[in-house]
Amino acid sequence: MKNILWIVALCAAVTAQAETVYVTLEKDNALAIVDPIAGTLTKTVPVGQRPRGIAIGPDNKFLYIATSDDDTIKIIDAETLEEVGRLPSGEDPETFALSPDGSRMFVSNEDDSQVTVIDVQECKAIKEIKVGVEPEGIAASPDGRWVISASETTNMLHWIDTESLAIVDNTLVDPRPRALSFTADSKFVWATSEMAGTLTILDAETRQIIKNIKLEVPGVTFDKIQPVGVAIDKDNRWGYVALGPANRVAVIDAKTYEIEKFLLVGERVWNLAFSPDQKRLYTTNGVSNDISIIDLASHKVTKSVGVGRYPWGVVAKP
């Protein structure tokens, strides 16, 4: 009886925390757990060598973390933070995308210029797809139709049909495409080009470029504006682009594609993640070793939380 009460109390304590943010720390070989409401670092746990890409499954039970120097993607229980499995990602995994139902994972293998497709249930690689040189950014469309892989040196977006697992089209974009994201309705793709300082928006139906935005920040020389992470809210109202060493996040109107404002965050801002309710945006700041919390109603940076060395990827769980 006493034990049961204790468990109930523990459950209550867990549910009381509305949200958890997970941040991979590339240099600390660890995962930082942040309470974004309190704005505090809860704890840091070792997770493997050089953790970078991170995602959470659709049921919010498991985290997937690319531990690049372990040459695997680890499956971590989101509650206990214990390792429960490993996926055969190929060498040096950095970024990957989960299919909307969480059954398949698409991993960029930079050194081998290919994308590895993994059956998550079976923990098995089922296909290797040859793409351009140094694939990095990769995204799955919410409707399950497409996976797009961006190759940094070939400067292309490769459209992978998720039925046939083959490339059906290639789109040339500006130099060094880094990250991309679909809108929630799967109709548009936003892709950043780090060396050109641009954002390219494509129509997913026609696979044509419909807009190219040069991201210019007053008072910052053009070559420091290096867009990386990109996120668009579920209402397709605002999009956000992390500008790397320009230390800012661009807020872009997702209808008119006008730049609304720039939010000053930490140094070398890399990747972005929404809170599950999309009231906040979290940014990893690779050089200042913190994450910034942006309130999306006011478009203001409300807090920065020190997390550890080289924060790389970020994901939030309700």
Partner 1 sequence: MIVRSLLVGISMLSLTVFVAQAEQKQEIEIVYFTQEKTAPPALSNLDPFIRDKGELGAELAIEDNNTTGQFTGQLYKLNKVIVPIDGDVAREFNDKIAGKFSFVVANLPADDLLKIINANKPEHTLIFDAGTTDDSLRQRCASDVLHILPSRAMRADALAQYLLKKRWTKWFLVTGASDEDKLFAAAIKRSAKRFGMKIVAEKAWDHTYDARRTAQSDVPVFTQGVDYDILVVADEQGLFGEYLDYRTWIPRPVVGTQGLIPTSWHRTHEQWGAVQIQNRFKEQKGRWMEEADYGAYLAIRAVGEAATRTQSSQLNDIKPYLLSDKFVLQGYKGRPLSFRAWNGQLRQPVLLAAPRSLVAVAPIEGFLHPKTELDTLGFDQPETKCK
Stretch that binds partner 1, among 16-24, 40-48, 55-63, 154-162 (CB under 8 A): 154-162
Residue 301, token pair as written in the block: 């940076």
Cβ distance to partner 1 smaller for residue 33 or 287: 287
Contact 228, 242 (CB under 8 A): yes
Tell me if 212 contacts partner 1 by CB under 8 A: yes
Cβ distance to partner 1 smaller for residue 43 or 130: 130
Cβ distance to partner 1 smaller for residue 70 or 152: 152
In the complex, what is the shortest distance from the CB of residue 224 to partner 1, in angstroms, rounded to a whole number?
8
Closest CA to 104 of 57, 159, 158: 57
Tell me if 70 contacts partner 1 by CB under 8 A: no
Q: Which of 28, 70, 110, 290 binds partner 1 (CB under 8 A)?
A: 110
Tell me if 313 contacts partner 1 by CB under 8 A: no
Residue 209, token pair as written in the block: 């470029």
Q: Which of 19, 71, 119, 169 binds partner 1 (CB under 8 A)?
A: 169
Tell me if 175 contacts partner 1 by CB under 8 A: yes
Which residues lie closer than 8 Å to 158 by C-beta, 6 or more apart?
115, 131, 132, 135, 148, 149, 150, 151, 167, 169, 170
Stretch that binds partner 1, among 14-22, 54-62, 147-155, 307-315 (CB under 8 A): 147-155
- Rg from Cα positions in the chain: 19
Tell me if 156 contacts partner 1 by CB under 8 A: yes
- What residues does 63 pair with on adjacent strands? 56, 76
Cβ distance to partner 1 smaller for residue 149 or 275: 149
Q: Which of 125, 195, 254, 301 binds partner 1 (CB under 8 A)?
A: 195
Cβ distance to partner 1 smaller for residue 99 or 192: 192
Exposure of 80 by Cβ count < 10 A (0-12 exposed, 13-18 middle, 19+ buried)?
A: exposed
Under DSSP, the state recorded for 84 is E
CA angle 273, 64, 314 (to 5 degrees): 20
In the complex, what is the shortest distance from the CB of residue 27 to partner 1, in angstroms, rounded to a whole number?
13
Stretch that binds partner 1, among 34-42, 126-134, 297-305, 308-316 (CB under 8 A): 126-134
Question: 106-127 in b/e burial notation, b at 16+ Cβ within 10 A?
Answer: bbbbbebbbbbbbebeeeebeb
Cβ distance to partner 1 smaller for residue 126 or 166: 166
Distance, CA of 306 to CA of 281 (rounded, Å): 16
Dihedral of the alpha carbons of 179, 184, 187, 191, in degrees to the nearest 10:
-10
Q: Which of 153, 186, 236, 304 binds partner 1 (CB under 8 A)?
A: 153
- Applying CB under 8 A, the residues found at the interface with partner 1 are 110-111, 113, 132-134, 152-156, 169-172, 174-176, 194-197, 200, 207-210, 212, 221-224, 226, 245
